[in-house]
Structure 1
């Protein structure tokens, strides 16, 4: 069977008809059930027999890529920003730039997630969080308030790789110990003075440190700004569930474009500063110099996880602006425009205040001068 044929079969199997009115059920954030958006009928998501497994990195080459249809019913590609996403919707808009989406007939298979962190915040809770965030932005234009409107909010599962590793690092460096010496000097009046001056005595240092890393997260998609996605942490991964399609019903699922091999290289980069701190502690002393660190990674495992984000996109001044909300904790990261008009009025108001203060100071100074003349 061809990939396209498999996807067509998956589309039929990924629908969840409502037992009350026949419409389509959607996963209800903050619950363990699917709910009909029309009649309110709910249906519990049956616990499957799957478990979240860690995959040994050495087995990656033999790991079969599963059809995309097993993650989302439809695969879309945006003709404007090139974002690829998945959804059970048959027609929709890009949640990143708002352009109409086109079904991608050449979608290839990808690794199926081991786990999914279901949405904990529904649309209403996210609107409240964003409303508080927007109201706290100084000099924000009125358009920023529109991101709280229903049609601008998209619930999207974003792929993340997690990596576990037991590291063993050998290092070479130097340990610096402070000591004090008394120095003499001549001050501005030509007098001899003494002072205590800190010096550092350096000694060569070498050794080994080891650490166990657990669930080092690496965003699997480059569509969203990695720094902003990272700043949405922490993620309560202990609340993750074994992957089931039901958790995706009615929501988007972004495809990963970072392969796990590249993801592991990024994970190493994220582990390196932690290892460097371990080395500094091991060297000890008052200061440390690290010349070289050689790290071996052992017992490396990984898995693909889907993490929940609410994405708000709005247009202002001819460009798209984006706000990201952690779908579990409500943490917000995003871009924001500045209202030139508000800034202008703020500057004018500040100049008026400065002018009034200057006038009062000048008046007070003139009065004081008159009093002095009178006393004379």
Structure 2
């Protein structure tokens, strides 16, 4: 049976390869050899194609079995799939959306067949620009200055367990044709004898224009909190590369589980809000502006599928979950942090007690 996974190994010593964000090359963990992405891609193209074909064939067989006997076993019910590491023979159990992972036994980066091929193949990939050391430094810096952060949290949240993940994103292009009708008011007041006279002028304000949107991102993974993914934008799309699985070794990767149609409404909402804001920004010069009517139509909608780089850390502390996400290209970071209630109480006491003493002293003067 053909292998359904591909381990990218060094041609010189067969050690595991990983994509090095600093050099843009695939580097061997053992002998230090470095290779161009295009060279490794060409060397492993046939093997990856066989892995994709084998995985797709198994998926079709599984679909026929389910149709014939719709009784799921325990693994199917959990949407899990079993693979075999071609390096050490260990069993790799992954969920339905995992496309690249690392073997927990030998550590070899593994690309799973059939997850990023055919209709599931992305058009683009944005390679990691910041490595793990940079991500750890950025997160450590993020903690500084957080006066109410518990000291124990810093030492117990396992920063070294940061994972680089290629997150599936839908990138939407569109054109917005916008028209708006508004009432503009200007108000002037002056004094006439004993009276204060106010003059209000009313203006018919109309605006129209066209806005062009290019690659508005919406993540296509239900695992990723939308607020976190929105917060780490923007990405520099000038560095997008045609998709190649050779960029994946050393990182995790997911395929989408929310298709472009399901995510389109979020993109449309973002475009409509941006266009509305642009219209409003042209109506300055009035004391007050009231919206009478707005009509915005989106057309020429086009969608692209890309994998974008994100450093992720999920940690659990005192029965609460905390998630950190960092843009693997720019370093923009968002994260949840706990608050030490004892520190808050101490700070409040340090401020309020002297203030109360001062007020009491004033009262008895």
Aligned with 1:85 (options 98, 110, 114)? 98
Corresponding residue number in structure 2 for 1:29: 21
For the residue of structure 2 that corresponds to 1:348, the secondary structure is helix
Partner of 2:223: 223
Shift of 1:256: 1.7
> 1:232-267 deviations in whole A, cap 9, x for unaligned?
112111111111111111211123222111222221
> Unpaired segments of 5 or more residues in structure 1?
51-65, 71-75, 93-102, 185-191, 370-376
Instruction: Tell me the secondary structure at the aligned position of residue 258 of structure 2.
Output: coil
How far is 1:104 from its partner? Answer: 12
Residue 350 of structure 1 aligns to a residue whose secondary structure is helix
Given the superposition, is the C-alpha separation of residues 259 and 77 from structure 1 closer, same or farther in structure 2, using an over 3 Å criterion? Answer: same
Q: Which residue does the alignment assign to 2:341?
A: 340
Counterpart in the other structure of 2:64: none
RMSD between aligned residues: 3.8
Number of aligned residue pairs: give it. 314
TM-score normalised by L of structure 1: 0.71
- TM-score for the superposition, normalised by structure 2: 0.73
Instruction: Report the alpha carbon displacement of residue 334 of structure 1 after superposing the two structures with TM.
Output: 1.0
- 5+ long unaligned stretches in structure 2: 43-51, 57-77, 82-94, 106-111
- Aligned match of 2:161: 152
Taking the TM superposition and a 5 Å limit, the aligned residue runs for 1:10-159 are 10-11=4-5, 14-46=6-38, 84-91=97-104, 111-146=120-155, 149=158, 151-159=160-168
Contact 2:41 2:244 in 1 (8 A): no
CA contact (8 A) 1:123 1:150 kept: no
- State the 4+ residue runs in structure 1 displaced beyond 6 angstroms: 47-50, 66-70, 103-109, 282-285
Shift of 1:282: 6.5
Contact 2:272 2:296 in 1 (8 A): no
> CA shift at 1:19, angstroms?
3.5
Instruction: State the SS of the aligned residue for 2:342.
Output: helix
| 1:313 shift after superposition | 1.6
Q: For the structure 1 residues 44 and 105, does the alpha-carbon distance in structure 2 shift closer, same or farther, using more than 3 Å as the test?
A: closer
Structure 1 residue 259 corresponds to structure 2 residue 268: no
Aligned partners of 2:284, 2:274: CA distance in 1, in Å? 16
The change in CA–CA distance for 1:258 and 1:182 in structure 2 (over 3 A counts) is same
Q: Secondary structure at the match of 2:38?
A: coil
Q: C-alpha distance in 2, partners of 1:106/1:44?
A: 24
Q: Which residue number corresponds to residue 328 of structure 1?
A: 329
> How far 1:160 sits from its partner (Å)?
1.2
Q: Who is 2:49 aligned against?
A: none
CA distance in 2, matches of 1:42, 1:107: 25
The answer as to whether partners of 1:130 and 1:148 remain within 8 angstroms in 2 is: no
- Distance (whole Å) between structure 1 residues aligned to residue 197 and residue 40 of structure 2: 71
